[in-house]
Structure 1
Amino acid sequence: MIEIGRYNDLRITTKTENGLILTDGENEVLLPYVDVPKNVEIGENINVFVYMHKDGRLLGTSKKPLACVGDFAFLTVVDDGEDGVFMDIGLDKDIYVPQREQKRPMFKGDSHVVYIFLDESNSRMVASSRLTNFVEEEDIDLEEGDEVSLLIVDRSDLGFNAIIDNKYIGLLYTNELFEQLQPGETRKGWVKKIRVEGKIDLSLQPMGYGHILENKDVILDELKYAGGVIHLGDKSSPEEIYQRFKISKSAFKKVIGGLYKDRLITIGDHEIKLFIDEEAE
């Protein structure tokens, strides 16, 4: 069965004046000559993206769209319609966002994270910025500490919402961020906490003791490279610490606390130093 809005492996059956006819054995797809790769022959299989033309025909293309059906993506509005807008999806045909599927009004030139799905009435690709209608909220297949892929959605009162692994939605808290984020950015993140109600708290830093061990080596190497002194300590600001080591202040304090217990460094309010054993000297 041909999957509209996705890539399909189809067999070339015939040539027409408009292009190649492809089939999955049941349905036919027209691949216009402008999209036909070189050196393909009748009887061969070809992988194409399939979408529904406005006249109801199935069309194939060798172009790569910015997103497929089932994807969340950051797209730009390129035109206004009477009852909705059109967004650039990287094909000759733009994708439609009806007014009812707009979380807030969209205007030409705006960019938004949207979800791509098929309109059940006509099998055409459409998009929606009402993301919570499409994320999975039950049977969350994640554990605290998991590394995940994040698509930054928008800013809320508490921080930034982000799509997780193209399935779930979670939150990065403002007070745990030490850099600017922008909607549409993709980031590596970690699951900080999964709440009873299914809400997911996220972090841009790894969780767990393994991360602490890793950063111990990083900070020791930096100390040696800096001649034994780094001007960051217990009372340094979170921004200064993040700018140097890309970790939170709480993680930094855990790392230097461990190094201090191991008698590898001394700690001051605004500096740390490699420990020198004067008795050994």
Structure 2
Amino acid sequence: MIEVGKVQTLKIERITAIGAYLSDGNDEMNAILLPEKEVPKTARVNDEMEVFVYRDSQDRFISTTRRPKIQLGEFAALKVVDITKVGAFLDWGLEKDLLLPYNEQTLKVQKGRDYLVNLYTDKSDRLCATMKIYPLLKVGSTHKVGEWVEGYVYQINPEIGAFVAIENLYHGLILMKDADSDIHCGEKVHARISEIRNDGKLILSPNKKAYKEIPNDAITILTKLNESQGFLPFNDKTDANIIKKELNMSKSSFKRAVGKLLKEKKIRITERGIEKNGR
């Protein structure tokens, strides 16, 4: 049986001017097209090919040898490339972008940002993305208190905290008192398990001890200063997204590292930004 939304091995039934038609060997009448540009020149009838099956822009079933960033039932952090009247469109590695309908969004998404989504089929058997991750995650992981894990933030409740999909599989939560003020949906976090609740959900603490965290961030800032002739145009008013993009750290981590460097008199702050002493 051919499965929409999954990579699978199919057999070439016939080759035409527009491409090869593939089937699972049981339903030759409903063979699916692999466009001519993706058919190997050496391909022959009865050859097997590993392809991904989805719908094209005209809602017809089609196959591709390209590997998508997500398959049916899986989770992945995908970038928003466009926002239209019907919803947002995500880059999932194929020619036709993936639709994230408005009714499957848990917040107003922004173009250029990554968001954790799950791939599902709607009532019309079309592949779509959803940000409604909570009911799809599991409990009962084998992780222990004190272990470090990674995951994506998929929802933020100002009264509770940041919900994290640990390893895209398990329920995790960073309590609001432990969360950075600039944490956002789609952000990948590295956190320590501080508690395992009775229901199996994991409470996370992203905060390292200051003496462990600050030196690495401070070295990053000094390295950037050296690469930029001793000056960086950043200060307390710089947008957190810019700091994340340029320095790969949160704004709170940036402030702590700057404070340490100021205390050690390695830098000075001006109206323009950060300058290295002895510049």
Name the TM-score class by shorter chain.
0.5 to 0.7
Quote the offset at 1:241 in angstroms.
2.8
Which whole-Å deviations, capped at 9, do the CAs of 1:49-106 have from their partners, x for residues lacking one?
1112344432111112121111222222222332322222111111112211111123
**Cα distance in 2 between the residues matched to 1:238 and 1:165:** 23
Question: 2-side partners of 1:192 and 1:58: how far apart?
Answer: 47
The match for 2:244 is none
Q: 1:14 to 1:190 in 2, by over 3 A?
A: farther
Q: Which residue pairs with 1:164 in the alignment?
A: 166
Q: Can you give the 5+ residue segments of structure 1 that lack an aligned partner in the other structure? A: 206-236, 247-281
Identify if the C-alpha distance between structure 1 residues 54 and 79 changes in structure 2 by more than 3 Å, giving closer, same or farther: same
Amino acid at match of 2:151: L
Where does residue 71 of structure 1 map in the other structure? Answer: 74
Alpha carbons 1:29, 1:57 under 8 Å: kept: no
Kindly provide the CA deviation profile for residues 7-30 of structure 1, in whole angstroms up to 9, marking residues without a partner as x.
011111210121111111234221
Aligned amino acid, residue 211 of structure 2:
E
Report what 2:118 is aligned to. 115
User: Which moved further from structure 2: 149-158 or 78-87?
Assistant: 149-158
With normalisation by structure 2, the TM-score equals 0.63
Normalised TM-score (structure 1): 0.63
1:103 paired with 2:74, answer no
Identity %: 29
- What's the RMSD between the two structures over aligned residues? 3.3
Aligned-residue offset at 1:42:
2.0
C-alpha offsets along residues 148-174 of structure 1, whole Å, 9 cap, x if unaligned? 552343555465432123222202457
CA distance in 2, matches of 1:136, 1:78: 30
Q: Which has the larger radius of gyration?
A: 1
Q: Which letter does structure 2 place at the counterpart of 1:151?
A: Y
Q: Distance in 2 between matches of 1:42 and 1:14?
A: 6
8 Å contact kept, 1:37–1:62: no
For 2:33 and 2:171, locate their aligned partners in 1 and report how far apart those are by CA, in whole Å.
37
- In the superposition, relative to structure 1, how do residues 39 and 202 fare at CA in structure 2: closer, same or farther (>3 Å)? farther
d(CA) in 1 for partners of 2:110, 2:184 = 19
- Alignment correspondent of 2:25: 25
Counterpart pick for 2:211 among 218, 240, 245: 240
Contact 2:131-2:154 within 8 A present in 1 as well: no
Q: Residues 122-172 of structure 1: CA distance to partner in whole angstroms, max 9, x if unpaired?
A: 2111011122132235xx243425675523435554654321232222024
Match of 1:272 in 2: none
Partner of 1:210: none
CA distance in 2, matches of 1:9, 1:152: 34
**Residue aligning to 1:218:** none
Question: In the alignment, which of 65, 71, 85 is matched to residue 82 of structure 1?
Answer: 85
Matched to 1:127, the amino acid is A
1:45 aligns with 2:16: no
Which residue does 2:201 correspond to in 1? 199
Matching residue's letter, 1:150: G
| Alpha-carbon distance change, 174 to 81 in structure 1, aligned in 2, over 3 angstroms | closer
* Residue number in structure 1 paired with 2:96: 93
* 1:203 CA drift (Å): 5.1
